[in-house]
C-alpha cells in the first residue's frame, strides 16, 4: 500500500467521521413542537338579577331565589354603574332591585353595565313568553314588546298594533327591531322614566308608521 493511497484513505475516513454527526441529525425524526396552551376567551357578560345593598361603602347583591350574598365589583369606566345606582337612590338602608350585565369570577360579580333597576326592592317574576326587548315611553304613555318575531305596540287611547320582524339587527351596541313601517331602536345609555321609580341602561326610539317618533327607555328580557 503506497503512502499516497494511505493518505487518501485516511483523509476520506476523516471526512466521513466529520460528516457523521450532521448525517445523524438529519436521520432523526423531527420532534413535534410543544403544545401551546389555548388562549382563554373572555367571558361574555350575562344578566344577573337581585337585590342590591350598600354597607360601609361596599356593594352586595342577593340573587333572586337565593339567600346568599355576592360581592360586586364595578369594572365600568369610572365606576359609572355604582355612580348611577347611587344617583338613583341606592344608599345604606335603601336597597334596589337591579339587573346587571356582569361576569362572575370566584364568588365576585364584576358588573359592567345596567340593564334594569327599580326602587321597589322586589324581584320581578320570570316572563312566560319569548320576550327579547321591552320599551316604555318616558311618561309611560306607550309600551313596545318584541317577542317571537312580533313587535307589539300599545299606546294610550289607540288600538294595539302588531308587526312582524325578522332578525334583530345589531352593530355591537345599537339594536334595531323593524317591520312594516314600525321600528324600535335601542342604544346604550342611562334612562329614567318620569315616575322616578324605574331606570334602565338603554334608551329607546319608537318610530311609527307615518314617521312619528317617540322617546322612551328599554331593557333586555
Give residue limits of the domains in the chain.
46-118, 131-220
Average pLDDT over residues 139-161: 96
Rg (CA), the chain: 32
C-alpha 103/C-alpha 89 separation (Å) is 24
Distances (CA, A) of 106 to 9, 109, 113: 74, 8, 19
pLDDT per residue as tens digits for the range 9-29: 334 434 334 433 333 333 444
- Which option is the CATH number for 46-118: 2.30.30.230, 3.90.1150.10, 3.30.450.90, 2.40.50.140? 2.40.50.140
Average pLDDT over residues 58-64: 94
Find cell 325578522 and name the residue.
166
Contacts of residue 105, defined as CB under 8 A and 6 or more positions apart, other chains included, come to: none
Find cell 323593524 and name the residue.
178
Average pLDDT over residues 175-194: 97
Which is nearest to 87 in space by CA: 188, 194, 218, 190?
Answer: 190
Kind plus residue range of the DSSP H or E element containing 102: strand 96-105
pLDDT of residue 128: 62
What 190-194 contacts at long range (C-beta under 8 Å, 24+ apart), as own/partner pairs, is 190/84, 190/114, 191/138, 191/216, 191/217, 191/218, 192/88, 192/217, 193/136, 193/138, 193/139, 193/140, 193/217, 194/138, 194/139, 194/140
- Give the 3-state secondary structure of residue 26: helix
The pTM of this model reads 0.79
Average pLDDT over residues 154-181: 95
Q: Cell numbers at residue 15, please? A: 471526512
pLDDT of residue 36: 54
Could you give the percent of the chain with pLDDT greater than 90? 69
Mean pLDDT of the chain: 85
Per-residue confidence at 55, pLDDT binned at 50, 70, 90?
very high
C-alpha 117/C-alpha 101 separation (Å) is 12
Amino acid at each position: 500500500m503506497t503512502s499516497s493511497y494511505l493518505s487518501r484513505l485516511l483523509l476520506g475516513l476523516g471526512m466521513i467521521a466529520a460528516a457523521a454527526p450532521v448525517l445523524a441529525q438529519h436521520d432523526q425524526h423531527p420532534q413535534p413542537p410543544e403544545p401551546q396552551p389555548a388562549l382563554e376567551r373572555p367571558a361574555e357578560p350575562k344578566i344577573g338579577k337581585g337585590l342590591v345593598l350598600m354597607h360601609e361603602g361596599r356593594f352586595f347583591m342577593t340573587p333572586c331565589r337565593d339567600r346568599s350574598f355576592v360581592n360586586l365589583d364595578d369594572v365600568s369606566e369610572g365606576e359609572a354603574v355604582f355612580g348611577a345606582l347611587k344617583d338613583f337612590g341606592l344608599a345604606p338602608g335603601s336597597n334596589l332591585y337591579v339587573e346587571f350585565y356582569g361576569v362572575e369570577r370566584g364568588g365576585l360579580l364584576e358588573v359592567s353595565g345596567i340593564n334594569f333597576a327599580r326602587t321597589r326592592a322586589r324581584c320581578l317574576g320570570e316572563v312566560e313568553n319569548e320576550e327579547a326587548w321591552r320599551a316604555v315611553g318616558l311618561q309611560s304613555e306607550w309600551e313596545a314588546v318584541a317577542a317571537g318575531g312580533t313587535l307589539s305596540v300599545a299606546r294610550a287611547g289607540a288600538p294595539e298594533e302588531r308587526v312582524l320582524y325578522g332578525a334583530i339587527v345589531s352593530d355591537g351596541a345599537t339594536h334595531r327591531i323593524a317591520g312594516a313601517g314600525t321600528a324600535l331602536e335601542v342604544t346604550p345609555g342611562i334612562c329614567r322614566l318620569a315616575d322616578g321609580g324605574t331606570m334602565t341602561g338603554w334608551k329607546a326610539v319608537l318610530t311609527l308608521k307615518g314617521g312619528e317618533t317617540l322617546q322612551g327607555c328599554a331593557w333586555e328580557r
